[in-house]
Amino acid sequence: MDSTVSILANVVGATSDWVRSVFEFQFARAVIFEVNIGGHLFVEGLLLVVILFLLSQKSYKPPKRPLTKKEIDELCEEWAPEPLIPSITDEMKREPPVLESAAGPHTIVNGKDVVNFTSANYLGLLGSQELLETCTTALEKYGVGSCGPRGFYGTIDVHLDCEARIAKFLGTPDSILYSYGLSTMFSAIPAFCKKGDVVIADEGVHWGIQNGLQLSRSTIIYFKHNNMESLRNTLEKVTQENKQARKLRRYIVVEAVYQNSGKIAPLDEIIKLKEKYRFRVLLDESNSIGVLGSSGRGLTEHCKVPSDKIDIITAAMGHALATEGGFCTGNARVIDHQRLSSSGYVFSASLPPYLASATIKAIDIVEEKPELLVKLRQNIAMLTKGLSDIKGLEIVSDPLSPIIFLALKQSTGSSKGDLQVLEDVADHVLKEDGVFIVTSKRSTLDKCKLPVGIRLFISAAHSESDLVKASESLKRATASLLPAHN
């Protein structure tokens, strides 16, 4: 032990003597160009030379040689490809209830008659005898499908009649039909919004609009949900900070009635901002046609805004009109452009003729039976009042919205946790009381960040007893399952 300490002391002493000799070396105290070269500068210069020498050396590279067959086989055995789909979670394995009859105000689920609040059958036209007779007549005349896109022998006279009927109903010059409701938004948005354009969209828009925006490759900027101050600030920022903004095509994209919250867009304020900042407006009226306005003509009628103030109006026909497909309506140039540039129109088989006939009949019923609108609004008001004092939940939707949206008063801290609590409530009322409701569960592709909730779709076909049963059942369920939230 003593010898080891002695050797270490000798090494340290020798090292200190060498460092001292360097600093005392005559060259270390030289004067060059009247500058004193101290010992530390000498050491630093030496280190710099060493570093430059090392950097100038070529790095070692092992010689290249082809892999042997054995090495290739070993690598192939070790390689594991990425899975085509993500791992299946317990949440994905959950099977939704299956309907065994038409999705009217009452339906059959698991062999049990239930009150249905999951269908956007706002006017109760689903299963209407008048619509069934119209469809039967059309099926006998045209058959089931069209077997071709509109531009390739898939246009049937009833398609043209339906487009003219929609345009007349909404007071626009022209309309265009799509075969599928969501494809209307998928296709209409990219037909007009291109790469480099600026789109200001509400953060609460549904997935169909989100997908259309993504496909457009435009610059997308979201503003706070249904917040006009946020929209104004966003428009101001875009126009002031981007000097090229006035040379770009610019759009505002909103829903009339938001599917993810049940709120109604203040269209009159949006139009004022549109005109001030010189933007175009794309409005989705899927949940407002046949619902809002004195005669069911949607948000434009409800807010008393002329339809020509809106550049592009889209809507799915699978809600109040109780058919399928979608449409876009506006001026003739907007419609003609889509006939050549909208992928969902150009490449998809045209809307089955019996559905076009049913749409025409549904619009006739809306005009001929205003009492359906009156009944729908009475039902919305009644259920809203019945749920106004529910424990643990609060109504966040608009009082006139056909979608009553219930959110947790006190969040669990995560969207997944909130959704589980709400699904427990939905399962409870279905099992115990036969009330069929749905949560706002979203696809993994859906980027909406709004709080999840329970959605109740109100129909004019619901009876007073249906509404009382739903409100009382929900109150009992929340009192039992949400004691921490009460």
The answer to pTM > 0.85 is no
Confidence category of residue 33, pLDDT binned at 50, 70, 90: very low
Q: Residue 398 pLDDT more than 90?
A: yes
Confidence category of residue 430, pLDDT binned at 50, 70, 90: very high
- Per-residue pLDDT of 140-164, as tens digits, reads 999 998 888 888 888 999 999 999 9
Strand 35-36 relative to strand 198-202, pairing: unpaired
Confidence category of residue 471, pLDDT binned at 50, 70, 90: very high
Q: Residue 44 pLDDT more than 90?
A: no
> Span 79-108, mean pLDDT?
81
Q: Evaluate the CA torsion angle 366, 372, 378, 383 in order and state its sign.
A: negative
Residue of 482 and 303 predicted with greater confidence: 303
Q: Environment class of residue 173 by beta-carbon count within 10 Å: exposed (0-12), middle (13-18) or buried (19+)? A: middle
**Long-range Cβ pairs for the range 475-481 (8 Å, 24+):** 475/387, 475/390, 475/391, 476/432, 476/433, 477/425, 477/428, 477/429, 477/432, 478/390, 478/391, 478/392, 478/393, 478/425, 479/391, 479/392, 480/428, 481/421, 481/424, 481/425, 481/428
Residue of 456 and 441 predicted with greater confidence: 456
Whole-angstrom CA distances from 236 to 32, 158, 203, 277 are 64, 46, 18, 8
Q: Residue 282 pLDDT more than 80?
A: yes
Nearest to 212 by CA among 459, 472, 445, 21: 445
> Span 158-185, mean pLDDT?
94
Q: Residue 10 pLDDT more than 90?
A: no
Those residues whose C-beta lies under 8 Å from the C-beta of residue 48, and which sit 6 or more positions away, are none
> Span 166-195, mean pLDDT?
93
- Contact yes or no for 287/257 (Cβ under 8 A): yes
Q: What percentage of the chain exceeds 90 in pLDDT? A: 65
Confidence category of residue 127, pLDDT binned at 50, 70, 90: confident
> Span 125-138, mean pLDDT?
93
Distance in angstroms (rounded) separating the CA atoms of residues 366 and 168? 13
Confidence category of residue 7, pLDDT binned at 50, 70, 90: low
- pLDDT for 28: 46
Q: Residue 381 pLDDT more than 60?
A: yes
170: left (phi over 0), alpha (psi -120 to 50) or beta: alpha
Whole-angstrom CA distances from 414 to 245, 425, 427 are 38, 17, 20
- Per-residue pLDDT of 289-333, as tens digits, reads 999 999 999 999 999 999 999 999 999 999 999 999 999 999 999
- pLDDT for 100: 87
Strand 31-32 relative to strand 35-36, pairing: antiparallel
**Long-range Cβ pairs for the range 414-420 (8 Å, 24+):** 415/451, 415/452, 418/451, 418/452, 419/452
- pLDDT for 43: 63
> Span 244-256, mean pLDDT?
86
Give the mean pLDDT of the chain. Answer: 87
Q: Evaluate the CA torsion angle 88, 91, 93, 97 in order and state its sign.
A: negative
Distance in angstroms (rounded) separating the CA atoms of residues 127 and 122? 13
Distance in angstroms (rounded) separating the CA atoms of residues 57 and 72? 33
Residue of 79 and 477 predicted with greater confidence: 477
> Span 267-272, mean pLDDT?
96
Nearest to 448 by CA among 419, 408, 410: 419
